[in-house]
Structure 1
């Protein structure tokens, strides 16, 4: 019996091996290799993937594992310590991006509903890429790492009401307030249930499993718990990734968090590669090369807009210039949840095919740039801060910085 997905797995992972081997010799990021493999194997190039939907499902599993591990590393106490950064920082960044994107897009001739929806798409950054790189560099707990994670958490939460608002923007729903009210009740119910699990159930279950000294049982229990909470949040209209993140937070409060991370890590590395491959496979190469000039101009415009808004957001949160620039260099790209949301927009006829392809090209280019920018973010920040500026401007900035320090260091101390 032939299993089509098995052939696709062999083809795309085998192709990825050769590309990444080449990229390693050229000292290029592996992530970029997976994107290139997806483009080559996709329907607009050599059409090597026959089970596109199944590959996308595997990529979802990769995002679940990624968010699960990040949740383990953060802990509930650490998350509570940055709640203001999540709400204020995330709100300013997402709200500001939506506002300015909608204004500019509307001025350029797009209908207001499409312009607002594009604001939704460009306001989201890549949780999968940013957290993976921050984790590899050991910067999750650094000031800019915590700020970036806080804003990404807000983005992952706000994508749910964005999906609910999409039919309203398309004029296909008139009960959005009732739907949002029900959703809030569901979120509250899930939160209470997860809190009870963390307090009474999970510690006892893992204690019994550890007593058996059976590694396979521990791995099985960890994965079932991760997928169980992800399924729970998904069943009430929240994202799978958010549920996995909550599951990681619960595990983080136990004595077995490091062991759980070590056991799940290999699964994450395999499945997250499918995400980057599936993203690359979406790009229409003919459209890309026919419109390369406009695409590059739009990429520059999106980068400048997002960087300015992120910089303003982190500055409002009263963090020093180095943290401002390091956060900007982490969150400038368009994210994977934007790709998921864009499909909802296409289904509701908010995104014409040409606008959708422009969006895909911008997303893939900014994702591809992310590893390069983040790997050199420290030296870029150092060089920017060394740029000579007029004495009057320097004096004013110093005065503002002193006032901030005397008022209240950063808005929150990050543990």
Structure 2
């Protein structure tokens, strides 16, 4: 049949499917090539996008870029959802001051530097502002991949870098929201910006509290019902539900995805969900990066080659220097500060997302996007080399700096890393702020829900005194949180000690009065939103009466809610375990590194005493994670099992020696020459007669399995090891052909 008749009968595919096929085919070829060249896959996706885009005409090109942009937006959602799964609010509390100071210093310096460079190049205020934010965020994906490929993930500076990236991720989300507000209002300060920040804080706290309260409980109770397929669908559904909530509240969809990911990260199913969601994230993430590459216009790059070169140098040197300064300020030694700074010298996925935000809001010019992509591509390529040469460069700087400077840095580092007791006053302030803020957010949320949903519902039903009914229902839900704001004791031990000191006594009394006034204000706010002033006064005194009469019941109800939340957040459905402050476990140059024992490691099945780990490598095992169990400070008789996660304390040199030994000393499992066969063995006139299968040692000698025995015409499948072999028996063995033949010949 001629091709013409085939083409006439061909079914027309929608452009979305053909474009998606073209994108994935191009991406597949590009990533294989880049994997072979040992380059980051992100670069492969960018090149694939460039080849599949409308700006490159030597290959088939994508027809409808609008359809691809929809796929790319889904990719952003899943990228941020996955980052949220890796993020976890608990991780943020554990990264400590080192990572926080490093990240804040880097971001502030780079935002100011980027904005200044943009202004010097004659760009608009909005282009310059977006540029500053774009240049301030390092790439989590690229750095972690480079650490893995270079084998430096176990070194101390790598832990500081990862902690800094966690802080950067949450700050990037915050800056995206603020940029959206600034772009819409065209203001850099003022009431709208302050309101946007307060609104963001309000929704972050509300979503986090409600998410931790409900989602872990739901997943724990439904755990025995959930298959992998169901868990994947539920996870994506929760992600998209939060995306809808975020968009309805006026935030970017990515914020909702990130928040839901961080909430699920606090559940017992977080690691399982992360594995299930990874293929989905990889697929849509690839489409997103390819869509970024499609926007690369060679003519634009030729026109703006000078800004590309300038911004590349600003990124590499600015990120390195600002991160190094931040790490030094946080108290890290000079060597580790330089290593951390040079590792953070690139921009990546968040920079693309922020640049996309500027384009979608139509507040940045078209040239900014391809310029940012070009800078990211170059700095992605240079990242492994910056990490590799950071150690010799740190040694060079340490050698060239005046000795008294180096000594001062060492003294400052030793002082800041010393464990200092937290003052009772700081502890009280922290607990006070947390309790008042959380309960105020919940109270305001209840009031707003009643005002905008419950009141219209009661009015629609045409109930008599609908506003009074709404106010009563709202008040009933509010009372536990009003009690927590006004009367619940805060850090009782700290207050009892501080009240004895005159300088704190007045402040504590004022702070207590402030709590009472805040609860009164919230009642007034609720009544003003729902009911008239006259009935409001009556309801106010009614609230006080109910409050006094049912104090005990209100207290008990609140504590049940609080206990449920803390159980989900702290215990996370797992066994109770002691708190480990990793940053305080390692003095001087020591740090904790983790290693997984391979299944074929020579360590498997031996005790710590037999392996002589401390004597041979100079390291100590702090604890061992084994499935759902953790062995803290293991004894010398503790056995090491395959897939154990060893958390060891040592210096970079000691840890590297241990890592090399663990990787290079494996039990040989090369069975490529083995031929597995089913072999028939006649027992007659052999030494096995009247012996049990176990005592005959047939299994051990042949390295095989006895799968059947024939006895007087009867056949037994998988006989017991206690079966006595008889002279007339025939045994069937599954094993290596060469070993069985050798055994029979003997």
TMscore range, shorter length: 0.7 to 0.9
1:193 to 207, 215, 240: 207
Aligned twin of 2:359: 343
Provide closer, same or farther for how the CA distance between residues 296 and 179 of structure 1 changes in structure 2, counting only shifts above 3 A. Answer: closer
Aligned twin of 1:332: 346
Is residue 2:165 matched to residue 1:154? no
2:405 to 369, 391, 396: 396
Aligned twin of 2:255: 242
Is residue 2:285 matched to residue 1:272? yes
How much does 1:211 deviate? 1.6
Bigger CA drift: 89-98 or 152-161?
Answer: 89-98
The answer as to whether partners of 1:121 and 1:341 remain within 8 angstroms in 2 is no
Alignment RMSD: 3.3
How much does 1:401 deviate? 2.3
The answer as to whether partners of 1:89 and 1:313 remain within 8 angstroms in 2 is yes
Secondary structure in structure 2 of the residue aligned to 1:283:
coil
Aligned twin of 1:379: 388
Q: Distance in 2 between matches of 1:107 and 1:19?
A: 37
Bigger CA drift: 124-133 or 230-239?
Answer: 124-133
How much does 1:277 deviate? 0.6
1:313-341 C-alpha deviation (Å, 9 max, x unpaired): 33322233324433442353261233123
Provide closer, same or farther for how the CA distance between residues 294 and 255 of structure 1 changes in structure 2, counting only shifts above 3 A. Answer: closer
TM-score, normalised via structure 1 length:
0.84
Aligned twin of 1:405: 414
How much does 1:135 deviate? 8.0
1:140-181 C-alpha deviation (Å, 9 max, x unpaired): 982211112212321221121122112454xxx699523641
The answer as to whether partners of 1:70 and 1:131 remain within 8 angstroms in 2 is no
Q: Structure 1 regions of 5+ residues with no counterpart?
A: none
| Higher radius of gyration, 1 or 2 | 2
Is residue 2:295 matched to residue 1:282? yes
Aligned runs of 1:216-235 on 2, under 5 Å?
216-235=229-248
Aligned runs of 1:14-413 on 2, under 5 Å?
14-46=25-57, 48-82=61-95, 84=97, 88-110=101-123, 114-126=127-139, 129-130=142-143, 139=153, 142-169=159-186, 177-178=191-192, 180-182=194-196, 184-199=198-213, 201-292=214-305, 295-320=308-333, 321-333=335-347, 335-343=351-359, 347-348=362-363, 351=365, 356-357=366-367, 359-387=368-396, 393-408=402-417
Provide closer, same or farther for how the CA distance between residues 184 and 311 of structure 1 changes in structure 2, counting only shifts above 3 A. Answer: same
Q: Distance in 1 between matches of 2:293 and 2:400?
A: 47
Secondary structure in structure 2 of the residue aligned to 1:50:
coil
1:280-330 C-alpha deviation (Å, 9 max, x unpaired): 111111232355355324422343233333332333222333244334423
The answer as to whether partners of 2:342 and 2:386 remain within 8 angstroms in 1 is no
How much does 1:127 deviate? 5.3
Q: Which has the higher contact order (CA 8 A, sep 6+)?
A: 1
Q: Distance in 1 between matches of 2:173 and 2:321?
A: 21
1:353-387 C-alpha deviation (Å, 9 max, x unpaired): xxx42x33442233223444443454221121121
Provide closer, same or farther for how the CA distance between residues 32 and 280 of structure 1 changes in structure 2, counting only shifts above 3 A. Answer: same
Q: Distance in 2 between matches of 1:118 and 1:145?
A: 24
How much does 1:38 deviate? 0.6
Q: Distance in 2 between matches of 1:23 and 1:375?
A: 14
Q: Distance in 2 between matches of 1:213 and 1:113?
A: 48
Secondary structure in structure 1 of the residue aligned to 2:268:
coil
The answer as to whether partners of 1:131 and 1:149 remain within 8 angstroms in 2 is no
How many residue pairs end up in the alignment?
404
How much does 1:8 deviate? 0.7
Provide closer, same or farther for how the CA distance between residues 375 and 388 of structure 1 changes in structure 2, counting only shifts above 3 A. Answer: closer
Secondary structure in structure 2 of the residue aligned to 1:142:
helix
Secondary structure in structure 1 of the residue aligned to 2:275:
helix
1:183-234 C-alpha deviation (Å, 9 max, x unpaired): 52354134223312212x1123213432214322121111111222233223
More strand by share: 2
Bigger CA drift: 130-139 or 97-106?
Answer: 130-139
How much does 1:250 deviate? 1.9
Secondary structure in structure 2 of the residue aligned to 1:387:
helix
More helix by share: 1
Provide closer, same or farther for how the CA distance between residues 216 and 391 of structure 1 changes in structure 2, counting only shifts above 3 A. Answer: closer
Secondary structure in structure 2 of the residue aligned to 1:253:
coil
Q: Distance in 2 between matches of 1:262 and 1:225?
A: 16
Q: Distance in 2 between matches of 1:323 and 1:391?
A: 16
